[in-house]
Amino acid sequence: MIVQVGGTNGGLPELCILEFQGELIGEKVGMLGSLTLKAGEKVEMIIGNHFLEGSFQNLKSPLLVLDSNDSTDDIAASTAAPSLSIQGVVRRKIIFKTRPKPAGKRTREQADLL
């Protein structure tokens, strides 16, 4: 089987990754939380009652992101040859490596302000 990967003219969109050690349980809809960008590439995030500390990291090698070009039309989807398109390239990620801590009252209030 052969799958064409749609090219791009010029520069690729720069995407970023948000990475959590572990699993996000729950419906992945709407608001997830608030992210505070601090000095020295550090970040803090509040998700519900959880407080996470993380940082920006530059990736050693870029990541190419591909996604399928699925048609919303059932007939077109069933007859078209499978294809992918290049969505962008990732060179940086935000990673949370430590265990979540309980979010204190002050941090919860900060999240509520958003």
Partner 1 sequence: MAEQTVSVVFAPVLSSSSKVIEVTNDFVKAIEAGEKLVLKGTATEEAVLCMSNKTFALKRVEQSNAVFLFNAQQDAQRYAMHSEVKDFFEIIPTVGKTKSVESLLLQKALESASYAATVAYLQENVMASDAEIDEALRRCRAVDDDGRLVTISFTQVVETFEVLFPAVLRHDLSLAALSEATLATHLADRTTRAMLHFILREIGASSVGTEDGDVVWTITDEQAALCLAHVAFLRATTLSWEDIQQEIAARHPSATFSAAALSQSLLQGVAVALSSAASATASLQMFRYYPASATPTELSRCMQDLFAMKKEYTAAELDPYLARYLPYGTSEAQRTTKMTELLLQVARRLDSGLYRLVESPTWK
21 binds partner 1 (CB under 8 A): yes
Residue 55's nearest CA partner among 90, 95, 99 is 95
> Taking CB under 8 A as the rule, does residue 29 contact partner 1?
yes
**Total Cβ atoms within 10 A of residue 107:** 19
Residue 39 in the binding site for partner 1 (CB under 8 A): yes
Nearer to partner 1, 75 or 113 (CB): 113
Q: Which is nearer to partner 1, 82 or 101 (CB)?
A: 82
Retrieve residue 67's tokens.
Answer: 């996604």
Nearer to partner 1, 59 or 101 (CB): 59
User: Dihedral through CA 22, CA 27, CA 30, CA 36, nearest 10?
Assistant: -20
Give yes or no for residue 18 binding partner 1 (CB under 8 A): yes
Tokens in use for 85? 């398109």
Closest CA to 64 of 6, 20, 23: 6
Q: Which of residues 64-93 bind partner 1 (CB under 8 A)?
A: 64-68, 70, 84, 86-90
Binding site for partner 1 (CB under 8 A): 1-5, 7-24, 28-39, 45, 61-68, 70, 84, 86-90, 110, 114
